[in-house]
Structure 1
């Protein structure tokens, strides 16, 4: 996908501001898959939440949100946090976490912030929250937010496994020998791609020693982070490799082919197998 097309799609998403708009956007961009549009929407949403995080986590803001929530609880209102998140244009899961932190601070930690690990545990298992109405509100926030928070993490984890399985199935069908992350970690590697080929292949005349599977769209922000945290580490340990962004990527990001990292949106149809008997 060209950068200009990507920018047009994001601009349309900013105009509609809802995941329900994806079918409309898909009509204008028939060559872009729904999976790609969904991934772009989620990535853009998460970037927005990170940019505005400090505003919502200020002392004044969290106090105001908690007071509004407490008044609603006293009045017997329902679906308070979901309604507030819509008004604030804030992730329901993030708002739920803010309210939960304030509640625990007031009821269990004598005004001090609770440990992040405790808050995370309650967010993953709202049934552990002693206040039943708060537990229901937090549960609604989690279920109502597929772009941020525990549900989003679970979805990404599940889809990631699905596409890793797809990659392994392709490699098995082609008869390519490889080892996975668990085997590499057992050998002492701390930075491991999804697949390390036992015998390299060639893709468009370029050697590939490892393959990384990404069940997402490759935008500039995510790709830059992956290069820094993962891909160059793989290159240092195993040599040149290939990244598959199954939901597509911005074409202009594929600039490191000569340095040993190529990008694809599917497993290549044509590869050259190297003869292991050749020394």
Structure 2
């Protein structure tokens, strides 16, 4: 089981809050400090905490952009080092690439945000070669955002969607996936919409949603508001799987209503109950003939 109570979750949070350094190093320390928990779960919790910290501090740090650019220019000119931005990010306790974006927006005010994003994806486009080298250094020292991290996260999400479909087929579920539903005109769609509903521990299941992340309360309530409640209103009750575990209190939160069942893994075959049909013998014989 990868379901945490509040005390367990709070200990992990406090470790992250007290850590001073890069997120990639914090991730390594977390794995050593909490070996009883999976690295995927710890990494997911860390990513959420870093995003929350950035959300709280980004406006204040952005307001200091003039001074930060001046500090960078001074240190880069003096040292010629490739890790000036990295050290500044550690001191400010924000992801290095977030600082890179702030610096680039200030240095190149005539550039569109899309151009700045392209510079971060490809630092060779940055006219200032030393600044480009600093941005590149940040990319390879970062595990919270950036082109490499985005690719990894996308691959992980797709991997678990493929895993979900295979496990659903293995237990005999018949379903439509997101592509099928969008082709028929649906906009917000679960990963799987069951063609024939079934029961899970006595509750009706019409759809299944896959989340390759840890389910904390804020994240879960966001999913409920933006996705899950609309699935419930449209299709009826269903399952959301947090593959990297979840905080125990979200399973019973009032916002779930009667529509949302929270689990940390795909249910076993014996946990499902399927509809059975009594086919008249004469029809069964005809079906057998067709199948020969």
> Scaled by the length of structure 2, what TM-score is found?
0.85
1:221-232 to structure 2, matched below 5 A, reads 221-232=218-229
Q: Could you list the per-position Cα deviations for residues 93-127 of structure 1 after superposition, in whole angstroms to 9, with x for gaps in the alignment?
A: 1001111112212xxx2xxxx32222222222323
Length, aligned pairs only: 266
Q: Contact 1:46/1:148 (CA < 8 Å) preserved in 2?
A: no
Does 2:227 correspond to 1:202?
no
**Structure 1 alignment gaps of length 5 or more:** none
Instruction: Please state how far the C-alpha of 1:12 moved relative to its aligned partner.
Output: 2.4
Instruction: Please state how far the C-alpha of 1:258 moved relative to its aligned partner.
Output: 5.3
The structure 2 residue matched to 1:57, chosen from 29, 46, 62, is 62
Moved over 4 A (4+): none
Does 2:80 correspond to 1:96?
no
Task: Identify if the C-alpha distance between structure 1 residues 276 and 230 changes in structure 2 by more than 3 Å, giving closer, same or farther.
Answer: farther
1:86-165 to structure 2, matched below 5 A, reads 86-105=90-109, 109=110, 114-165=111-162
SS at match of 1:137: helix
Instruction: Please state how far the C-alpha of 1:192 moved relative to its aligned partner.
Output: 0.9
Quick check: 196-205 or 126-135, which moved more?
A: 126-135
Instruction: Please state how far the C-alpha of 1:199 moved relative to its aligned partner.
Output: 1.0
Report the equivalent of 1:26.
34
Quick check: 16-25 or 181-190, which moved more?
A: 16-25
Report the equivalent of 1:45.
50
Instruction: Please state how far the C-alpha of 1:267 moved relative to its aligned partner.
Output: 0.5
The structure 2 residue matched to 1:12, chosen from 15, 23, 30, is 15
**Structure 2 alignment gaps of length 5 or more:** 21-25, 280-292
Report the equivalent of 2:282.
none
Does 2:253 correspond to 1:259?
no
SS at match of 1:209: strand
Instruction: Please state how far the C-alpha of 1:15 moved relative to its aligned partner.
Output: 2.9
Q: Which has the higher contact order (CA 8 A, sep 6+)?
A: 2
Q: Contact 1:13/1:21 (CA < 8 Å) preserved in 2?
A: no
Q: Contact 2:198/2:273 (CA < 8 Å) preserved in 1?
A: yes
Q: Contact 2:82/2:137 (CA < 8 Å) preserved in 1?
A: no
1:66-105 to structure 2, matched below 5 A, reads 66-75=69-78, 76-105=80-109
- Cα distance in structure 2, aligned partners of 1:86 and 1:67: 17
- Cα distance in structure 2, aligned partners of 1:275 and 1:128: 62
Quick check: 151-160 or 44-53, which moved more?
A: 151-160
- Cα distance in structure 2, aligned partners of 1:276 and 1:140: 63
Instruction: Please state how far the C-alpha of 1:142 moved relative to its aligned partner.
Output: 2.1
Q: Contact 2:210/2:240 (CA < 8 Å) preserved in 1?
A: yes
Report the equivalent of 2:188.
191
Q: Contact 2:238/2:260 (CA < 8 Å) preserved in 1?
A: yes
Quick check: 2-11 or 261-270, which moved more?
A: 2-11
Q: Which entry has the higher C-alpha Rg, 1 or 2?
A: 2
SS at match of 2:227: helix
Q: Contact 2:244/2:264 (CA < 8 Å) preserved in 1?
A: yes
Report the equivalent of 1:268.
267
The structure 1 residue matched to 2:244, chosen from 232, 242, 247, is 247
